Amino acid sequence: MILKANNTTCPPALCLLLALFFWVWAPVALVAQDVGQVSHLVEAKETFYSISKKYNVSIDDIKSANPGVLYPKAGEYLVIPGQKAAEPKSRSEKPGVPEDDYLSSADCRKDRKNLSRTYRVALMVPLSLEGTGTMDTMLTKSPAETMALPQFRFIQYYQGFLLAADTLADMGLNLELTVIDADQDQSKTERALNSGKLKDMDLIIGPFYKNAFSRTASYAGDNGIPIVNPLSGREDILEGNKEVFKVVPSRISQVNVLSSLVERRFAKSNLFIVRENGLQGTEIIDSLSSSLEYALGKKVPVVNYATDSLPGVRTHLRDGVHNLLIIYSESGVLPVQLLPSLNEMSKDKQITIIGLPEWEKFDQVENKYLVTLGAYLFTDSFIDYTEPDVKRFISDFRARYQAEPLEYAYAGYDAGFFFLSSMMDYGRDFAECAPSVNYPLLHTRFLFRKIPGGGYDNVYWNVYYFQDYYLVRVPYLPKAGH
C-alpha cells in the first residue's frame, strides 16, 4: 500500500480500520514530496510576501499549499508549490546553531546521500485485532468510542508515530513501514520472527510486552538490527545486547540529574535525605548520598522515617538557613504522612523538598503542600502545552484522528521523530551517533548513553517544580564533566 504522507483523505473511522486491518504485515511506503514542490525553512522576519518573491510564487498559492498556516513562523517548514525538487535542506537539531556545535563526534557527520535511501522499519504494537469485532460494528462507533475500547490502548502510539513519519516525509524521508500486531499472545511474535520478514529491517520498535520484547531483542541482536523498547524503564533489557535502545530512563539515572540540580541551585542549603524505610531504593540512596557528598564536600545525613519518624526529621532542620529535604518514597505513604507536618514547620523555617523517584504517580499527595514547599519532582514525561510544537501536534492529531492526543500519542511521535531523523541524517548505522544528537521532541528528551557490554540507555529525566500552582520545567543542567 502506497500512502502519500500528507494526503490521507478517508473518514477517521475508516482510516483507523484501514490502519488496523490492512497495514498489518502490509508495508506502507511514506515518500517525500512530489517533484512539483519543495520545502522552505522559514527564517526570522520572513513573511508570505518575502517568501513569494524568493520563489516567484503567488502568496495565494503558498497559502493554498499550507492550509492552516496563518503566517510563517521561524523554524517551520512551508511547502512551496510549482518548484523543481531540490536536495532537501539538512535539518538542525538546534535551529540556528551550526552542526559542529552540537555534534560531539567527528565521525558523526550528516550525509545527504542518506536521504536517497529507503528505510525499512517494523512497528510492533499491541492491537489485539481479533477482539475488534466486525468492520460494520466498528464503523457504527464514533472515533472517541473506538479509542475507548480496551484493545486500542496503544493505538495512539501508532498514530503519533505516523504523524512523525508524515512530517519527516515532507523533509525527504523515504520509509517502508511494516506494522505488526504483537500483544501478550507470544505466538504472534513467534510467527513474525519465523516469517523472515523482520530480517531485512533497519529498525524495530517494540514489542511493548516484556516476554515478546525479550524474544524480539534477542533476534534483533543476532541480526544486527537496532531495536527500541518503548515503555519499560528496566535496566536489565540493555544487558548483553548492544542493539537495544531504552527510551524510558532508569531510576538510577536520577542520581546524576539530582546531584547537578543540587550543586547548581542548593549548594549552600542545609541538606538531608529522608527515606521511607530501610528497604526501598537502597542503591539510589547510597549512590545519591555519595555523589552529593563528593560534589558538596560535606556529609549528607539520611533519616529512616520508619524508625526515626518525625522527631528524626526535626532534628536535622535548621533555623535561619534554607533547608532542602530529598524525600524518597515508592509507595506514597511517606509524603502523605510527612508533608502536612512540613507545611506547618515551613511557617517559621525555610523548607524546599525534592520528591523521588516518581511522585507524579501519587494521587493521594495534596498539591497545596507541594506548592507551599516548592516541591521539585521527576517525571519521564512532561508536556508543555504552551510550546508551539505541542500546539501544532495537538491540532494535527485532532484534525487527522478526531480525538485528543494522550500520553502514548506523544511517546509514539517522539520515538518516530528521533529514530527516523537519525536514519535520515546518519544512515542505517545511526546507533553510534545517537548519543550526539538532540532532536526537538514533544514530551521529553532522549539523551542516550552506551552502557558497557550492552545497549543505549536514555538518562534524561524531566524535572519540574511548583510555583503558584504552575508547573515550571527546569532547563537541562549537565553534570560537570558530561
Predicted local confidence at residue 121, as pLDDT: 96
Task: Give strand pairing partners of 121.
Answer: 177, 203
What are 365-393's pLDDT values in tens digits? Answer: 888 999 999 999 999 999 998 899 999 99
Query: In terms of domains, do 258 and 231 share one?
Result: no
Residue 99 lies in a domain: no
Instruction: Determine contact, residues 64/37, Cβ cutoff 8 Å.
Output: no
CATH code for the domain in which residue 43 is found? 3.10.350.10
Query: In terms of domains, do 152 and 132 share one?
Result: yes
Query: In terms of domains, do 293 and 170 share one?
Result: no
- Cell numbers at 8, concatenated: 490521507
pLDDT grade, residue 145 (50/70/90)? low
Classified as helix, coil or strand, 301 is coil
Instruction: Determine contact, residues 129/20, Cβ cutoff 8 Å.
Output: yes
Q: Output the CA–CA distances (angstroms, integers) from residue 216 to 79, 171, 193, 450, in the order listed.
A: 39, 31, 7, 20
Give residue for cell 486500542: 152
What are 436-475's pLDDT values in tens digits? Answer: 888 999 999 999 999 999 999 999 999 999 887 788 899 8
List of residues 6+ apart from 314 with CB closer than 8 A: 345
Question: Strands of 462-467's sheet, edge to edge?
Answer: 302-304, 270-275, 322-328, 350-356, 376-379, 462-467, 470-473
Output 136 or 114, whichever has higher pLDDT. Answer: 114
pLDDT grade, residue 115 (50/70/90)? confident
Predicted local confidence at residue 143, as pLDDT: 57
Output 379 or 145, whichever has higher pLDDT. Answer: 379
Give the residue-averaged pLDDT of 200-220. Answer: 94
Output 327 or 85, whichever has higher pLDDT. Answer: 327
Predicted local confidence at residue 40, as pLDDT: 73
Query: In terms of domains, do 369 and 260 share one?
Result: yes
**Percent of the chain whose predicted confidence (pLDDT) is above 70:** 77
pLDDT grade, residue 140 (50/70/90)? low
Q: Output the CA–CA distances (angstroms, integers) from residue 270 to 43, 308, 316, 328, 375, in the order listed.
A: 48, 19, 8, 17, 16
Predicted local confidence at residue 110, as pLDDT: 78
Query: In terms of domains, do 328 and 316 share one?
Result: yes
Residue 451 lies in a domain: no
Query: In terms of domains, do 274 and 231 share one?
Result: no
Predicted local confidence at residue 421, as pLDDT: 94
Q: Of the segments 70-79, 84-93, 261-270, which one has the largest average pLDDT value?
A: 261-270
> Is 90 exceeded by the pLDDT of residue 415?
yes
Task: Give strand pairing partners of 271.
Answer: 324
> Is 60 exceeded by the pLDDT of residue 219?
yes
Query: In terms of domains, do 204 and 135 share one?
Result: yes
Query: In terms of domains, do 300 and 262 share one?
Result: yes
Classified as helix, coil or strand, 73 is coil
pTM higher than 0.85: no
Query: In terms of domains, do 346 and 358 share one?
Result: yes
pLDDT grade, residue 13 (50/70/90)? very low
Residue 13 lies in a domain: yes
Residue 24 lies in a domain: yes
Q: How far is CA 271 from the centre of its chain?
A: 32
What are 15-33's pLDDT values in tens digits? Answer: 454 444 333 333 444 444 3
What are 326-337's pLDDT values in tens digits? Answer: 999 999 999 999
> Is 50 exceeded by the pLDDT of residue 104?
no
Task: Give strand pairing partners of 227.
Answer: 204, 244
**Percent of the chain whose predicted confidence (pLDDT) is above 90:** 54
Predicted local confidence at residue 203, as pLDDT: 96
> Is 70 exceeded by the pLDDT of residue 94?
no
What are 248-302's pLDDT values in tens digits? Answer: 999 999 999 999 999 999 999 999 999 999 888 899 999 999 999 998 999 999 9
pLDDT grade, residue 107 (50/70/90)? low
Output 161 or 150, whichever has higher pLDDT. Answer: 161
State which residues form the domain around 329: 252-379+464-473
Query: In terms of domains, do 278 and 365 share one?
Result: yes
Residue 304 lies in a domain: yes
Predicted local confidence at residue 153, as pLDDT: 76
CATH code for the domain in which residue 346 is found? 3.40.50.2300
Nearest C-alpha neighbor of 129 from the set 13, 19, 14, 230: 19
Output 87 or 250, whichever has higher pLDDT. Answer: 250
Give residue for cell 544486527: 224
> Is 60 exceeded by the pLDDT of residue 154?
yes
Predicted local confidence at residue 460, as pLDDT: 94
Predicted local confidence at residue 144, as pLDDT: 58
Predicted local confidence at residue 111, as pLDDT: 76
Predicted local confidence at residue 168, as pLDDT: 93
> Is 90 exceeded by the pLDDT of residue 159?
yes
Query: In terms of domains, do 143 and 116 share one?
Result: yes
Residue 224 lies in a domain: yes
Amino acid at the residue 324: L
What are 41-71's pLDDT values in tens digits? Answer: 776 656 676 677 667 788 778 887 887 676 6
Residue 452 lies in a domain: no
Residue 479 lies in a domain: no
Query: In terms of domains, do 178 and 215 share one?
Result: yes
Predicted local confidence at residue 152, as pLDDT: 72
Task: Tell me the average pLDDT of the chain.
Answer: 81
Query: Domain total for the chain?
Result: 3
